[in-house]
Structure 1
């Protein structure tokens, strides 16, 4: 159990038949009446965000989330197979379970899988990945880093906006959280 006074960004609670992560919180002590905690909660399963107010000191069950390090070993049709790095057990996930992060997933990549009981909630990729550009408009002499951007297709099939001087065959670093170009590798 966790008290609403102990809420911090990133704390996970079991509330309203699901797992919710505290995104923002504000402890309010009005001049008249009792204190309360105003929160913004994100449902880990669906991604919905709600604002909720709790009494100060109200206790809620804390979600017991388990994070395990796994390696993406291979793709079997439209299923992705992961191997637990500690027990060597294999887990198969579909593209819908992984979500939009699947566009940066490569074989051999180590990811963190977040579980609540037996249910897989989230697949966390590294913050940055290095991928090869397979398709991009050719660069033109005089293109600069601040001169604009163009779309490029990387080896996993994802489309990323890159500077004009990037051409096919180059390896680039991409931020998986913001889908943005970080630099050449």
Structure 2
């Protein structure tokens, strides 16, 4: 049987199962009452790993959670069609399909052959983990004009090969490959 975790022991970046659903803890706030006999409460900011929804919920310190049956496998991105995105498990070479709902906007960072991690709950794929940075080619951007820096406008919009739109420094040109932070969608440098 899986080990049980007390609500008071849940920490940031920890995984736990609540109502047969896996969650990821984003933040924890413990409030200890000053009155005698008052109960210690634990407020968790948590992400549902199946729906990607984020919300706060308060639990009593003694409430227990199961450890989720989570597994992470390395896979390479193959292609996307109208119904799903297709990946290949790097160990078993089995093909894994993920629907657009499970991928969310992660699709905007995927390029053919990219190695990512797929999260599985009870053996079924539920989502992916992207690397911290990805390299993408600039498909379109306006040319940077000299002297544009006086107004403080040192960035311009760029559309990348996957359709992702970001702000890049004015010296970046079409056809260049740039590094983008996947969490913040910010320019990280030239590749």
TM-score, normalised relative to structure 2: 0.86
1:150 matched residue in structure 2: 156
The range that moved more, 25-34 or 74-83, is 74-83
Q: Return the offset for 1:25.
A: 1.2
Aligned pair count? 185
**For residues 157 and 102 of structure 2, what CA distance do their matches in structure 1 show?**
27
Q: CA RMSD in A?
A: 2.1
The match for 2:111 among 106, 115, 128 is 106
Instruction: Please list every run of at least 4 consecutive aligned residues from structure 1 whose deviation after the TM superposition is greater than 6 angstroms.
Output: none
Q: Which runs of 5+ in 1 are unaligned?
A: none
TM-score, normalised relative to structure 1: 0.89
Q: Is the 8 A contact 2:84 2:99 kept in 1?
A: yes
Cα gap change, 1:75/1:52 in structure 2, threshold over 3 Å: closer, same or farther? Answer: closer
Q: Return the offset for 1:139.
A: 1.4
The match for 1:59 among 43, 64, 84 is 64
The match for 2:13 among 10, 14, 23 is 10
Q: Return the offset for 1:61.
A: 1.4
Q: Is the 8 A contact 1:143 1:165 kept in 2?
A: no
1:140 matched residue in structure 2: 145
**For residues 77 and 34 of structure 1, what CA distance do their matches in structure 2 show?**
51
Q: Deviations over 1:121-162 (max 9, x none)?
A: 221111111111121111112345x63322111122221111
DSSP 3-state at the match of 1:52: strand
